[in-house]
Structure 1
Amino acid sequence: MCSVRISCGQFLPILLLTGDIAGKDVVEVYYNPPYTNGGIEKSTANLIGYEKTNELKPGESQTVTISFTAEDMASYDYLENGCYVLEAGDYEISINSDSHNVIDSVTYTVDEDIVYDEANPRSTDLTAAVNQFGYADGHLTYLSRKDGFKNYDETTAAPASTSMPEDLKEGFIVTSNYEMPEIPDAEMPVTGADNGMKLTELRGADYDDERWETLLDQLTIDEMQNMIAHAGFQTAEEKSVEKVATVDCDGPSAVSNNFTGAGSVGFPSNVMIACTWNKDLAHTYGYDMGKMATELGCSGWYAPSMNLHRSAFGGRTYEYPSEDPIIAGTMSAQVVNGAAENGVYAYMKHFAMNEQETNRWIMICTWSNEQAMRELYLKPFEICVKNSNITATMSSFNYIGNVWAGGNYELQTTLLRDEWGFKGFVETDYFAGAFNMNADQVIATGGSCCLSTFDVGTNFVTDTSDPSTVQYMRTACKNIMYTVVNSNAYAGETSLTLALWMKIMVGVDVAVAVILILLEVVLVKKYKKRKSVLIVVE
């Protein structure tokens, strides 16, 4: 028996477990919002929170508290208000056995529309979430609940043409037509200064600490180029600020050090972990992965992946937790926090809209309206940023509309940093497509570095004589160093520490070595004594 408190202050005594043996269950909370025919699109069953019970013996009970706010039930209205709106009406809040079957419910009533625009942003947003991705809709007709999904046949039919509309072709950005924007009144920053400051001095410092500027003045152009261009499974060493090189490891279910070939034990896939609905287990998984990464000399971990199961044929669904953004985001946040306890910065990826692998390297364009983007595909990342100490992100190969995700200002600056409050660095996915992947676009849009394992030319910033360009480079390098200095690479005695069993073995080796040395000394003394005796005898 479980008693569940929900946000409107009522208790729902729910019988979840029956039987003669001990077991666990999941308390799933859903809401069904009011819907106006032809209005904002809404689902009837929306997961909003969940908790896994303890192991309960027959006859035992537990009170589970699941908290959320009314604004969490708001829908994104991209057509009229261009922001989230909590519409007036009755919201059915229920405890379900799954997304289809309601066990019990209560009604929460909103008296009038609440519009979360620039004048009234949601409490979790630093700036209001307003329309940013109109160019990504592709002029398509999207499935609507209006009149009982009357446009189903139209929207699910094969496209009449696979050609991009002419106006979108004109805005299609590749390396050859990308122009780095100028920063108004930009002045050439100081470079190569001899300020005598070390990166380690800023461990634990606030992102806005003024000492960052002093440190950044010491970097040379070449050092900034190196840090931005050469971030394939590493962050580069920079001697002027005594920044150490770090190793980033790959593998969603096992750590793989691409430099040494060393690897860890494997865990079940993210799908299996998400299926447990167990936040503590997700945290433990992240903690253990962080611990093993540290033992293998790694500071960064290319995980967790949190794109959605848009299709069973997505090609990478084993790596992504769920088709539900709440589960994907909540579990991933726990994984990130677990890894961070060992000083490992996890990279949430692939940011964003990378829900398929087919044709991923040939500039595939992902089209979507902004409601679907914000309520589904971007939601796991939003939850992770707002509920974890994430400081590293990996962008994705694909285009969002006609703009590459790895060089998308609205994605990496407006959304990720300004709205959600992310602090840290964004690295590209594997730097393989020189035609559309370029360092200029990366750093000018809020990215930081290129996952390059060899030079392709475009992983280097071009015009380093331009003040705006160097300003972008400084910001990119600051974001990288902010993450690295707060990792295990700068944790003093715990920096890249050996595991306990490895310490024990080292201790054993040292003890054996000492014993062998002592035995050797004894044998040498005995030999010398024998030798001296022999000489006397002769």
Structure 2
Amino acid sequence: MLEINMDDVIAVIQSIRPQLIVIAVALVLGIITTVAINKRTVASQGVRKLAHSTSWVVVAIAAIVSITMALTGPLDSMLTMATATKHELTQETIDTTNKLAVDIEREGITLLQNNDRMLPMGDTGNINVFGWASTNPIYGGTGSGALSDAYDTTSLLDGLHDAGFKTNEDLTKFYTDYSTTRGTIAVTSADWTLPEPAADTYADTLIDNAKDFSDTAMVVIGRVGGEGLDLPTDMKADDVTYNDNSKDYEDFPKGTHYLELSQSEKDMIDLVAKNFSKIVLVYNGANAFEMSFVKDYPQIKSVLWAPHPGQAGFEALGEVLSGKTNPSGRTADTFLTDLTANPTWNNFGNFEYDNVKEFEVDSARGVRFPHFVNYNEGIYVGYRYYETAANEGLIDYDATVQYPFGYGLSYTTFEQKMGEVTYDAETGKITFDVTVTNTGDTAGKDVVETYYNPPYTNGGIEKATANLVDFEKTKELKPGESETVKVEFDDDDMASYDYKNAKSYVLEKGDYAISIRSDSHRTIDEREIIVADTITYDSEDNTHNGDAAVATNVFDDANGGLDYLSRADHFTNADEALAGPTDYSMSDKDKSTFYNVGNYDPTKFDNDSDEMPTTGAKNGLRLAELRGADYSDAKWDQLLDQLTFDEMDNIIANAGYQNAAIKSIGKVRLSDVDGPAALKDNFTGVSSIGLPSNIVLACSWNKDLAHEYGETIGDMAHEMQVSGWYAPSVNLHRSPFAGRNFEYFSEDPTLSGDLSSEQVLGAADRGVYAFIKHFALNEQETQRNGQLCTWANEQSIRELYLKPFETVIKADGDAQAVMGSFNYIGNTYSSAHTGLNQTVLRGEWGFKGFVETDYFSGTNYSYQTGDQAIRGGTDAMLATTETTNHITDHSATSVKAMRAATHNILYTAVNSWRYADGEPDDPMPSWKVTLIVADVVLGVVLAGLEALAVKRFLNRRKVAEAQ
């Protein structure tokens, strides 16, 4: 999602251009008329004065009518949202939410290293906190993930103080005197400057006093990311803004990236390491950081990852340091010693086609051309790549991976004992117990991580050697206490998608290793099950994972003919597949079906056999009568028959931050607001408390916390009169440099899907519909709305990128809304991709809610049109002003699509909490009441002025005649 920016301003001006033209023309005509009257009319008898007054009354009427039409037309929705009543949170809800934020951060903080058991430190003590980020830490992401400044925020230092620690105030003053703000990261531009005083600016007395204050040091490194921009992979690139901290050196020489230490940070750590033998490093960021430097400093005993804590979560950091809280977080991503070894390194970023001039569109942002990104690594993303590549001898695992996926330490020790694995081939169920025992001397929680390693045939279906299939977190176990965790999953969870031959999901026969692991790399115990016969999920009575229809190839058009990374012959094609693009041309075949605002004509796709649906019928139904009715109930057709073209168009076209009203059926306007870690009303300015980012929740590996997260969002939504939540975001961390990794969960689809499902179910418990987003393949921000053609094979699309969405949709059927993505899938805009939105989402998964675009800026982005979107299975346009969001084609084909879209929107709306007690009140917006009063008053005034002018004219004429 986007915050309101210059694009919005331009869009508003464009939407009211006709009215502005009318006003301008009327004004010019008024001036011309005045001049002409002065030259041609006789001053006597009052003719000139009457003509003057009448002409300017006409000008005023034209202006009033034009302004009224602009306000009640293109600007209607925006004004209604901006003037809506502001509903604030109660103090009780604020307190409850803050408590949850601390709980999530307690379990999300991840202990990566703890040499010599430096941590915990105990309840009290002095500590020197180094690093400028200690005084300006990262609380959340930017863009839609930014937090509100309306609520108190617990700082990093506050968290330490509240736990009983005393921090060196001289150091704090040193950093705040240096700078109080970091570079601004906005949606469309960024200053990536990392303020960090040069080491030679630390006075000797400052260091000497610090050593007297405490023999313990903490070093804080912070990194921020956000919507609209990915993190720089080359800090000296032309489009990167950065100001060095010293004139004597560069913080980032050419070729260095944002997720490694700057020179100022290196020098600062050198300084601290020379003076302190006990150092704890805290990384405060959402993106996996390059931490190979830790090995060079034996003084760095402990390393903590403390991702974005929201507005209260830093309370947990002090608790972890003191030992009041035993850290139980696990990494949600793989940390590499060198991030350039990520398989996406060369296929992530800004790649523009060189032969697409025919698709040039001149928008508010300048001339726009299509771009592309290639998912060449196929299914080998994150730990799936590192584990499999190491197994095949392609990489040296220990030299490549510093902290594996699913890794985290504790202040205690645990033992996990795996019971016998039972596989019921008839039901497909795989079950076993894991007994977890706290074998240490401190209470704590552990995570049971279950992986499978499927049989692989050289050159056959691609398969990774490690695949997370289930996970559970224990309760807090006291020393010596045990808990038995039941693990259960289906055999088709281990199936692979064969897009080349079977064109369906296949569970190949052979031995499947089922293991419990401390992380993706270290096996605790393992059992094998045998699948006796290959199962192909290709019939109506044998679909994959309960699909309503057989899953078969849908995304052949997104394949792009790329040479995808293959495990065959020990990844023999790795160098070529991962090298980066060499062909920057779009094929003629793909050009022939590429559409944007410049060449999409809906009439070319009308189906002559379609029959025009009934509109405007007088059946007398109200929407509230359909609450709880089945999606296919006959009453829906009766209700939909009542709607007119304009009513359907309005609810489809004007869905930005709202679910528009249809008064004729009692459909009230519902408020949909931004996320992901809070509820943000971009128009009234009201926001909720900000919870920790989803990366923290992912590091907690705690499904119960995820459910509570959703419930709390729902509770806040009730108090804010909000019905829809633009979250959670379930795209994957394909690259550590993706700007929105803070709001996405993980590099793994199972962890992402299970936790986001609980969030959605929790919100649904409160009657709030959550928009899972961004559907789909929105794994980078660079050129995300630059007609970004995303090329990937069907196996990776289904097994990785669609998997979290599928998991949420199938979780008890409570998912009611989906938000599309900005990018194209192959050469088709995602929100117009019929295969994605109809065949897969509705056909295979049985989704019954509604699909909305990501922010709709039509001509500004150069490719979004409402006509194409509704025919591609999208129901609503997230537009805040008039652009190409309205439906222009009135054919039967178009009206059928509008009817289906309206059905989906209304089905979700009536089953939200706002309709729980019947039809809600729907008073006229206050601004409309004011407008009506103003128009009436102005009308009376203008009529009076004109009457007065006529009266004076008549009086003058009588006087003249009498003379």
TM-score of the aligned structures, taking structure 1 as reference length: 0.89
Specify the SS of the correspondent of 1:473. Answer: helix
Q: Deviations over 1:342-377 (max 9, x none)?
A: 111000000000000111111111100000100111
Q: Following the alignment from structure 1 to structure 2, what is the Cα–Cα distance between the partners of residues 11 and 394?
A: 37
Q: How does 1:8-47 map to 2 (within 5 A)?
A: 8=423, 11=432, 14-15=435-436, 17-47=438-468
2:508 maps to what in 1? 87
Alpha-carbon shift at residue 257 of structure 1 (Å): 1.4
User: Aligned partners of 1:201 and 1:109: how far apart in 2?
Assistant: 53
Question: Is the 8 Å Cα contact of residues 557 and 826 (structure 2) preserved in structure 1?
Answer: yes
Q: Using the alignment, how far apart are the partners of 1:290 and 1:220 within structure 2? A: 33
Q: d(CA) in 2 for partners of 1:470 and 1:122?
A: 34
Amino acid at match of 1:324: D
Q: Structure 1 residue 199 and structure 2 residue 623: aligned?
A: yes
Contact map agreement 1:7 1:68 (CA 8 A) in 2: no
* In 1, Cα distance between equivalents of 2:431 and 2:806: 29
Q: Is the CA contact (8 Å cut-off) linking 2:556 and 2:794 kept in structure 1?
A: yes
Report the alpha carbon displacement of residue 13 of structure 1 after superposing the two structures with TM.
Answer: 5.1
- Contact between 1:249 and 1:255, CA under 8 Å: does it hold in 2? yes
2:839 is matched with 414
Moved over 6 A (4+): 493-496
Q: Offset of 1:446 from its aligned partner? A: 1.3
Of the candidates 776, 789, 797, which is equivalent to residue 352 of structure 1? Answer: 776
1:184: how far off?
Answer: 6.6
The structural deviation recorded for 1:284 is: 0.4
Corresponding residue pairs, total:
494
SS where residue 810 of structure 2 aligns? helix
Report Cα offsets for 1:186-216 as digits up to 9, x if no partner.
2212211121110000001100000001111
Task: Could you tell me which runs of 5 or more consecutive residues in structure 1 were left unpaired when the two chains were aligned.
Answer: 497-538
Q: 2:600 aligns with which of 177, 196, 205?
A: 177
Cross-structure match for 1:487: 912
Residue 109 (str. 1) matches residue 530 (str. 2)? yes
Three-state SS of the structure 1 residue aligned to 2:516 is strand
| TM-score using structure 2 length | 0.50
Report the counterpart of residue 488 of structure 2 in structure 1: 67
Closer, same or farther: CA 89–15 of 1 in aligned 2, 3 Å: same
Aligned match of 2:804: 380
Q: Which 5+ residue runs of structure 2 have no aligned equivalent? A: 1-414, 424-429, 922-963
**Alignment partner of 1:274 is 2:701:** no
Aligned letter for 2:811?
N
Partner of 1:468: 893
Secondary structure in structure 2 of the residue aligned to 1:387:
coil
Q: 1:187–1:66: structure 2 CA closer, same or farther, 3 Å change rule?
A: same
Cα 1:4–1:294 change in 2 (3 A) is farther
Aligned to 2:719: 295
What percent identity do the matched residue pairs reach? 54
Describe the SS at the equivalent of 1:92. Answer: strand
Residue 871 (structure 2) pairs with residue 447 (structure 1) = no
Name the SS for the 2:529 alignment partner.
strand
Identify the match of residue 150 of structure 1 among 572, 576, 581. 572
1:329 aligns with 2:753: yes
Q: Is the 8 A contact 1:303 1:349 kept in 2?
A: yes
Whether the aligned pair in 2 keeps the contact of 1:228 and 1:476 (CA below 8 Å) is: yes
**Distance (whole Å) between structure 2 residues aligned to residue 115 and residue 146 of structure 1:** 22
CA contact (8 A) 2:431 2:489 kept: no
Q: Give the Å deviation of 1:183.
A: 4.8
Identify if the C-alpha distance between structure 1 residues 36 and 282 changes in structure 2 by more than 3 Å, giving closer, same or farther.
same
Q: How does 1:357-436 map to 2 (within 5 A)?
A: 357-388=781-812, 389-434=814-859, 435-436=862-863
In structure 2, the residue matched to 1:125 is: 547
Give the counterpart letter for 1:480 in structure 2. Answer: I
Give the partner amino acid of 1:366: T
The structure whose Rg is larger is 2
Aligned twin of 1:506: none
CA offset digits 1:306-336 (Å, max 9, x no partner): 0000111111111101110001111000000
Opposite residue 92 of structure 1, the aligned amino acid is A
Cα deviation, 1:217-256, whole Å, max 9, x if unaligned, reads 1111110110111000001110111100001010211111
Q: What is the CA–CA distance in structure 2 between the aligned matches of 1:13 and 1:425, rounded to whole Å?
A: 40
The letter for the 1-side match of 2:885 is N
**Cα distance in 1, alignment partners of residues 893 and 689 from structure 2:** 46
Report which structure shows greater RCO (CA 8 Å, sep ≥6).
Answer: 2
> In structure 2, the residue corresponding to 1:41 is in which secondary structure?
coil
Output the CA distance in 1 between the equivalents of 2:431 and 2:546: 24
Change (3 A) 1:265 1:495: farther
- Deviation, 1:258, is 2.0
The answer (yes or no) to whether the contact 2:433–2:485 under 8 Å persists in 1 is: no
Counterpart of 1:405, as a letter, is S
* Letter paired with 1:115: T
CA displacement 1:131-157 (0-9 Å, x = unmatched): 010111111100010111111110111
Partner of 1:503: none
CA contact (8 A) 1:85 1:116 kept: yes
Counterpart of 2:732, as a letter, is L
After superposition, what is the alpha-carbon deviation per residue over 1:285-313, rounded to whole angstroms, capped at 9, x for unaligned?
A: 11101111221111000000000001111
Equivalent residue of 1:194, what SS? coil
Contact 1:2 1:62 in 2 (8 A): no
Q: For residue 671 of structure 2, give the secondary structure of its aligned residue in structure 1.
A: strand
Distance, in Å, in 2 between the alignment partners of 1:140 and 1:187 is 42
